[in-house]
Amino acid sequence: MNVKPELIYSPKAKVSQPLVCIIASDDLPDFIDLLDYEKVFISERLKRGDESVFLNTKPGYVAIVRVKNDLPLFRQHESLRKSASVLLERIKETLGTSVTITGNDVTASAVLAFAEGLILSLYRFDKYKTKESVEKGLPEKILVSYNIPESDFNWLKISCEAVYATRDMINEPPQKMTAQTFAAALRHLGSGSGFSTEILDKSRIAALRMGGLLGVNQGSIDPPEFCIMEYKPENAVNSKPLVLIGKGVVLDTGGLNLKPGDYMEQMKTDMAGGAAVAGAMYLIARARVPLYAIALVPVTDNRPGQNAIAPGDILTMHNGTTVEIMNTDAEGRLILADAISYACRFDPMIIVTLATLTGSAFMTFGTLASAIMGTAGEEYFQTLESCGEEVFERVARLPFWEEYEEALKSDIADIKNLGGKESGAISAGKFLASFASAPFIHVDIAGPAMLKKNDYYRTKDGPGTGVRMLAAFARSLATANVEKNKS
C-alpha cells in the first residue's frame, strides 16, 4: 500500500538535493550547489521563458519553478500546484524518497502552494490491490525549508490530511462504505481532531419524523444514520453557529427510477458532500479556528429494493412539510431537507449545504466550478467566492428569483421534489431553501466532485472538493467576527 508522504517544516535546515526551488525572476539562486555547465543550462532555459527547468545532478535532481508574476495571486498559486503535479512524473524517474522545497525572493504562500500541489498529487488509493503496487520514486518525506509562518505551514499540513481522509472515504467501495461504516468513519475523524460526534440511529430518526431520510432509506436493507458533528471552542467568536450540511448517499442507484449503468458507475461518490463537510470540520478543529461550527450529514443508500418509495408517494418531512415524489432519483434533496430543518433549531448564523445534487449543475459548469445559490446576504456569498478562488475550488452563482419556485408546486402536497427539465439546479436549490429559516447557501458540487480522470493534483473519482473551501470560509468568518467584536 502506498505510504502517505510526511510533510516536515525546517526553515533553518541546510538546503540539499534533491531540491525544488521556487523563484520570482530569471536569476538562479547562489545557494544551490551546481557545476558551472549546469548553471548555464538552467539559466539559458529560464531566459528563453521556460516556466520550470528540471536537471538530474549527481547529488540528486534540481527543479527550478518560476512564479507567473503576470497572473493574479490566486492563479499564481494554482499554477504552482499544477507545476508540482507535472513535476511529480519527473521526480518518479529519480527513485528518491525525499525532496526539499525552498524559494528565492518569493512569498511563503508560493512555496506552500507548490508543496500543497505535490502532496495532493501523491495521493493513491490502492488498499485493495493484492499485489505489490507501490510506485517507485514517490517521495515519502517532503521538507519545506523556507521562512514561513508556522501557523500557515500547520494549516497546509492539516488541510492535506483532511483531503486525504476525505478521499479515502469517497474511494471506498459501496459494500465497505455502508451508512454504518460511513458514520463510524466520521466519528473516528472527530476523535482525532477535537470535534464531538453524535450518531442518531433509525429509531431516533423516526422519533424526529425525518420523513425524507426514512423515505429514501425504504429501499435499503441497511438502516439510515444521522450524524451530528460539533466543534465549540472556548474562544469561539460567534454565538450562533456556522452549520455545514453534506449529502451522505453512500450509493445512489436512482431507486425505482433506476439510473442507466454508465451513470451508476461513479455513484459510490454520491456521499462526497458529506465526506467533504467532515473533512472541513477536521481541518477547522485541528487548526483550532475560533469558530463555533456544526456539521450535519444524513446517511443512507438509495436502492430499488424492499418497500422503496415510488413516484406519486408523499413524504412528511421533519418540519411537517409534505412532499410529492416525482422522481426517486431526486433523493439527495429529500435527506438534505430534513437536515436543514433540524439545523434551524441551532439558530445558525448561516447554513451551507454541500452536495453532488444535480446533473444540471454539471451540464452548466462542467468540472470547473460548483454552482452556488441561496438566500444569505451578499457578504456571505462574496466571502465564499473569495475562498473558492483562494484554494481554486471556484464557485459560480446562479439566480434565485422567486419565479423558480413555480416549478415545485404540487396539486396534492405542499411541494414536489422535482421541477421541470429546465433550470434543474436552481429548482433543487429552491426546494432546499424552503426548509431553511436562517441565511442559506447551497453549493452543488456535482461537476468537480466526480472526476473521471486526474486533473493535475485533483485525483479522479474523489478529489475531495469542498474541504479546503469550506474550511477557508470558516476561517474567514472567524476573522470577520473578531473584527466585528473589536468595533
Catalytic residues: 259, 333
Dist. CA 173–CA 190, nearest whole Å: 22
Helix (H) or strand (E) holding 348: none
Cα radius of gyration rounded to whole Å, the chain = 24
Cell output for 440: 442559506
Q: How many CB atoms are closer than 10 A to CB 191?
A: 11
Amino acid at 423: S
How many CB atoms within 10 Å of residue 24?
16
Cα separation, 212 vs 333, in Å, equals 8
Whether residue 18 has a cis bond before it, omega within 30° of 0? yes
Grid cell at residue 319: 418540519
Pairing of β 314-316 and β 293-302: unpaired
Beta strands in 190-260 (DSSP E): 196-200, 225-231, 242-246, 248-252
Measured in residues, the chain has a length of 487
Residue 443 C-alpha cell reads as 453549493
What is the rounded CA–CA span in Å between residue 263 and residue 401? 31
Quote the Cα angle for 229-230-234, to 5°: 160
CB atoms within 10 A of CB 94: 16
Cα–Cα distance measured from residue 205 to residue 306, given in angstroms and rounded to the nearest whole number: 19
- E strand segments, 255-359: 293-302, 314-316, 322-324, 350-355
Please state, in angstroms and rounded to a whole number, the distance separating the CA atoms of residues 178 and 180. Answer: 5
Distance (Å, whole) CA 87 – CA 99: 12
- Dihedral (CA of 160, 389, 393, 441) sign: positive
